[in-house]
Amino acid sequence: MALLEKSVNLSIMHVEQKSAAEVVATARDAFNKGFTKNVKHRMKHLKSFKKFLDENEESIVQAMHEDLRKQREEARFEISIAVNHLKYLMANLKEWVEPKRPPKRWLELLDGVYVYHDPLGVVLVMGAWNVPLLTLVPVTGAMAAGNCVVIKPSHNCPAFGNMLAKVLPTYLDSMCYPVFLGDIDQTKILLEQRFDYIYYTGSTSVGKIVHLAANKYLTPTTLELGGKNPVYIDPSADLELTATRVMWGKCFNSGQACIAPDYVLCTKSVEKEFVLHARNALKKFYGDDPRCCPIVNDQHFKRLQSLMTGLNIVIGGRTDPLENYIEPTVATGVSPNDPIMQEEIFGPILPIVTVTCFKEAVKFINRREKPLALYIFTKNSSVKNYIIEHTSSGGVTVNDTLMHLMVESLPFGGVGLSGMGCYKGKSSFFTFVHKKSVLVKNFNGIIEKINRLRYPPYSSQKTDVMGFLLKYRRGPSWIWLFYVGIFLIGFVVGFLVFNYFALMNDMK
Ligand code: NAD
């Protein structure tokens, strides 16, 4: 409530904006002038971005509340993920930008062999409404990689977008890192511009539009999409903790999260116990009137209401059309053919489909599109390993939900219809660079003698020698060096012991 009273109507702030073509042209000009290639410039702006997050936490929380009535702590959670990501980038940037020296063959022993990490140019990052800041986190990876970045928040979170467009330019160079606001038509015009990379987060259907637009210039693209994330609950799992963790994942942002658990697969007896614990967990979370945040708009509210029709609801089920609230809801006896099992739910409704064993659950998962996230609850490691090895998904968390996204060093992204490409960890940087191969030769006489092997007149003898020099050979591994070290230490110790006894003998 306090938050509501304090909030200002950010959505009516007027933000002057250049056309899409002008914004991209300015960013391209800035890139060509080489500002963002400078590592000090990158580091300075990453620090400024962090300062923006630190100093504007309250405005960000307010904006998200205004757009989505997002709960304060969930908004702060998003901010802390963004801050941690920035810290990770800053801690590793110097090492990542350095050209790497891959292993060489005999033929290149006297040459320089390098991989440079070139920024791509002008990158477009498009965010989604449900986690408006989190979906713009790839912006910082693109900045670290030395690109200019056009930042495009979702048109469905105007307060957040306006706040960003007003405040971010006071921290970042807006020629290099402009914020572009626009409705669907303006976004379409933006997508007609030429970019060097597009990083899109949102629904699969709009993802296809973005991919099609990118095709015009063969622009490489990452698509962070959604889908139905299964939860398999094994009879061996601690069902009380399982229910707590699944219900937390389902209620976070009212289930409006790309990695929210979508549906549960378990046996009939697990279902019975799970429902009992899920009810208790909700009571502990919310008391007698369980409410997460409201559903984003009337259209999604009505969609969810219609998905609930005909379900055997065992927990929750109440809705409030005036406020767009849907109570956290659990339904049992759900058939794979029910409408709720045909699309990503993106709301606080958890259907349970019963299976007879984990192998049937695997078959069920594999008959459907590859999910963004898969959750496995079990104490049995062979069940865990079997499911991980026999399914394909963007990521997996065992015995919890949502948490793989929080591990900074793990890449995050989808597979198949849940997306392509990833960010986080090293991927945040390496997604936005071109790995440029560089071979440096010199005019050394020995090298020229070797070079003559490839010049005409050709002979089979020359070709054989070339083949020998070009042959791939595995270099010595560290373990080999370890054994050599052990051998040398043993040799020295043996030598000293032998001499010691020889000396003792002489003294006798
Ligand atoms: P959205 O409406 O915010 O759209 C996403 C982006 O596309 C926005 O920038 C929007 O302005 C733009 N856009 C929307 N319609 C467009 C059109 N017709 N033409 C051009 N641009 C358009 O978000 P959404 O699509 O409703 O997002 C929800 C989906 O996003 C869910 O499926 C969710 O699972 C997925 N999601 C995925 C991730 C992830 O990291 N994989 C994160 C958050 C959300």
130 lines ligand 1 (CB under 6 A): yes
Q: Residue 403: exposed, middle, or buried by beta-carbon count in 10 A (0-12, 13-18, 19+)?
A: middle
- The CATH number of the domain where 253 resides is what? 3.40.309.10
* Phi, psi for residue 406 in degrees, rounded to 5: -80, -15
Tens-place pLDDT, residues 475-496? 656 677 788 889 999 999 999 9
pLDDT band at 7 (very low <50, low <70, confident <90, very high): very low
Which residue's CA is the nearest one to ligand 1's atom 38?
258
3-state helix/strand/coil string of 360-399: HHHHHHHCCCCCCEEEEECCCHHHHHHHHHHCCCCEEEEC
pLDDT value at position 398? 98
Residue 454 covered by a domain: no
Which residue's CA is the nearest one to ligand 1's atom 27?
202
DSSP state of 410: S
Tens-place pLDDT, residues 340-364? 999 999 999 999 999 999 999 999 9
In this predicted model, which residue has the larger pLDDT, 469 or 56? 56
Q: State the average pLDDT over residues 284-300.
A: 89
pLDDT value at position 477? 62
Number of domains making up the chain: 2
pLDDT value at position 15? 60
91 lines ligand 1 (CB under 6 A): no
Domain assignment of residue 325, given as a range: 230-412
**Which of 155, 212, 256 maximizes ligand 1 atoms within 8 Å of its Cβ, making it the mutation to test the pocket?**
155
User: Both 209 and 242 in a single domain?
Assistant: no
- Beta carbons within 10 angstroms of residue 459's beta carbon: 10
pLDDT value at position 2? 30
pLDDT value at position 5? 31
Q: Give the span between the Cα atoms of 354 and 275, in whole angstroms.
A: 13
331 lines ligand 1 (CB under 6 A): no
Share of residues in the chain with pLDDT > 90 (%): 84
Q: Work out which ligand 1 atom sits closest to the CA atom of 182.
A: 11
Interval between CA 433 and ligand 1 midpoint (Å): 24
Q: Give the span between the Cα atoms of 413 and 434, in whole angstroms.
A: 19
User: Both 241 and 388 in a single domain?
Assistant: yes
- The CATH number of the domain where 185 resides is what? 3.40.605.10
User: Both 189 and 318 in a single domain?
Assistant: no
Interval between CA 205 and ligand 1 midpoint (Å): 9
Interval between CA 112 and ligand 1 midpoint (Å): 45
User: Both 168 and 302 in a single domain?
Assistant: no
**Which of 206, 295, 303, 369 maximizes ligand 1 atoms within 8 Å of its Cβ, making it the mutation to test the pocket?**
206
Is 270 a residue whose pLDDT tops 60? yes
Tens-place pLDDT, residues 387-440? 999 999 999 999 999 999 989 899 999 999 999 999 998 999 999 999 999 999
Tens-place pLDDT, residues 364-382? 999 999 999 999 999 999 9
pLDDT value at position 483? 84
User: Both 343 and 201 in a single domain?
Assistant: no
User: Both 300 and 335 in a single domain?
Assistant: yes
Beta-bridge mates of residue 200: 126, 223
pLDDT band at 1 (very low <50, low <70, confident <90, very high): very low
Is 13 a residue whose pLDDT tops 80? no
Interval between CA 76 and ligand 1 midpoint (Å): 21
Spell out the residues 6+ positions from residue 3 whose beta carbon is closer than 8 angstroms to its own: 61, 62, 65, 72
pLDDT band at 16 (very low <50, low <70, confident <90, very high): confident
Residue 465 covered by a domain: no
pLDDT value at position 107? 81
208 lines ligand 1 (CB under 6 A): no
User: Both 386 and 260 in a single domain?
Assistant: yes
Q: Work out which ligand 1 atom sits closest to the CA atom of 224.
A: 41
Q: Work out which ligand 1 atom sits closest to the CA atom of 419.
A: 41
188 lines ligand 1 (CB under 6 A): yes
330's enclosing H/E stretch is strand 329-332
pLDDT value at position 290? 81
User: Both 129 and 251 in a single domain?
Assistant: no
Tens-place pLDDT, residues 30-61? 999 999 999 999 999 999 999 999 999 999 99
pLDDT value at position 126? 98
Tokens of 174: 């807006």
Residue 487 covered by a domain: no
CA distances from 40 to 62, 119, 145, 198, 253 (A): 33, 14, 12, 25, 37
- State which of 412, 430, 447 marks the end of a domain: 412
Q: State the average pLDDT over residues 326-336.
A: 97
Is 110 a residue whose pLDDT tops 90? no
Interval between CA 128 and ligand 1 midpoint (Å): 4
Interval between CA 68 and ligand 1 midpoint (Å): 15
Is 12 a residue whose pLDDT tops 50? no
- 295, 256 in Cβ contact below 8 A? yes
| Residues known to be catalytic | 224, 258
User: Both 220 and 261 in a single domain?
Assistant: no
Q: Work out which ligand 1 atom sits closest to the CA atom of 259.
A: 34
Interval between CA 222 and ligand 1 midpoint (Å): 13
Share of residues in the chain with pLDDT > 70 (%): 96
372 lines ligand 1 (CB under 6 A): yes
**Which of 131, 133, 135, 154 maximizes ligand 1 atoms within 8 Å of its Cβ, making it the mutation to test the pocket?**
154
Tens-place pLDDT, residues 132-185? 999 999 999 999 999 999 999 999 999 999 999 999 999 999 999 999 999 999
Which residue's CA is the nearest one to ligand 1's atom 1?
128
Is 19 a residue whose pLDDT tops 60? yes
189's enclosing H/E stretch is helix 184-192
Q: Give the span between the Cα atoms of 365 and 360, in whole angstroms.
A: 9
Interval between CA 169 and ligand 1 midpoint (Å): 24
User: Both 355 and 404 in a single domain?
Assistant: yes
Which residue's CA is the nearest one to ligand 1's atom 8?
154
